[in-house]
Amino acid sequence: MKPKPLKTSYQEEFQGYDRSKFLNDAIAGLMAAFISIPLGLSFAISSHAVPVAGVLSFMIGTLFFSLLSANPFQVQGSAALSVGILATISLTYGEEAIYWTGILIAVCMLLLWGFRLGKYIERVPEGVIRGLTMGIGYIIIKNQVVSIAQSKPPLWLVGILVGTLIFLFAYPRKWEKVLPGGVIVTLVFLVANGVGQGFLPGPGSVVWQWNPMSVSFAAALTVKEWIHLFFWAASLTLLFVMKDFSGGLMGQKRANRKFQGNRELLLLAVINLTMPLFRALPCTGAITVTQVSYKYKQTTRVTGLFMAFFLAVALFLLPRYVGLIPIVTLWSILIFTGIGMLNLPMIKEFAVHPKRNLLPLVTFLLIVVFNMSVGMVGGLVLAFILSKKPHFVDTGD
């Protein structure tokens, strides 16, 4: 399948576009925005950045991607897999270092694009992607458990968390297509916190204030510190690109067009070069939120434009209400999301067919024992050991 110019993609995408598809895109954009708000707040807080930074990442990243990508079926935003590294950077050098790391990530992506490596990265072994997805789920759960333990919540708040998780798991799947359980939880706690005048602890201020990046901070870093930041940025770049490409390959099948890895790299680089200017977290493909837009029958890239619009309304017109979303809501939604990505039925399958599932199992275990970077590299190495000429498949399968 030959790659098509962006203009041609637009023309084909909007053939037969009518009022019904427009409404589907609007509803899908609203629901995707609603889910991305607690996720963005959670990722930013866990990264030791201001809460608004994660939501801004979803808003700006999705806006750029919806306008310029040949693949309209993917949301962009902050990612759970980056939380551990960004938190380490912030605790070591301060929050400002997160945004300079974002610049370095963009530089790494430009280097990959310049050497035309996108066409090789897009051929990702399916087993590695399965293992990485489960590993991300494990990291999300682990980070939330650590966050909860460090905050030492009272027993009644832990009880609310447990009750919320029971509700999310008991919520019928067929109803998820109409109204996700996460949306219900967020709305209920938002109203309760508003009526109760903030009796549940929230994320704090989500009012966005533009502050230019500190050049003096960058000048004060030593060469050794810049090398450390570049190493972390390179690790995040590989993780971001593989995660984005896996989502892009899923969108390829949905959009019935060829995934263009090098174009995707360039767009990712431009987006991440823009993020630090708004003091937003680095971004990549947001598979969890993308799946929400799929459920609500997204038809075109207009869904992403609606999502960015609704997020802008929430951040700039309704920041007081966004700040009332309780922390317990963020904990429960993230733990629920992590368990879903952990894919418990697949773990049972490991026990039944260990050889068939060796690649995802080893990738997952390496992530659990070491980290995402080791798991990713180890999974790719094992793919070549298992076969002199490994079979690569589109992750859309």
Domain ranges of the chain: 19-342
Look at residue 396 and tell me whether its pLDDT is greater than 60: no
Dihedral sign for Cα atoms in the order 7, 13, 18, 20: negative
Look at residue 387 and tell me whether its pLDDT is greater than 90: no
- Give tens-digit pLDDT for 154-176: 999 999 999 999 999 999 977 87
Q: What is the 3-state secondary structure (H, E, C) of 328-384?
A: HHHHHHHHHHHHHHHCHHHHHHHHHCCCCCHHHHHHHHHHHHCCHHHHHHHHHHHHH
What is d(CA 71, CA 57) in angstroms, rounded to the nearest whole number?
19
Nearest to 42 by CA among 372, 373, 281, 305: 281
Report pLDDT for 312.
95
Asked whether 121 and 112 are in contact (CB, 8 A), the reply is: yes
- Give tens-digit pLDDT for 309-360: 999 999 999 888 888 888 888 888 888 878 877 877 777 777 777 777 888 8
Q: 287-295 and 223-255 are packed helices; what angle lies between their axes, rounded to 10 degrees?
A: 20
Q: What is the mean pLDDT of the chain?
A: 83
Residue 224 buriedness (CB in 10 A; 0-12 / 13-18 / 19+): exposed
Report pLDDT for 273.
94
Report pLDDT for 220.
93
Nearest to 305 by CA among 63, 36, 9, 25: 63
Residue 77 bridge partners (DSSP)? 284
Q: Quick one: pLDDT band at residue 298, thresholds 50, 70, 90? A: confident
pTM (whole model) above 0.85: no
- Give tens-digit pLDDT for 202-220: 887 787 887 878 889 999 9
Look at residue 177 and tell me whether its pLDDT is greater than 90: no
3-state SS, residue 149: helix
Which residue type does 123 have?
R
Q: Tell me the range of 137-141, 157-161, 375-379 where mean pLDDT is highest.
A: 157-161
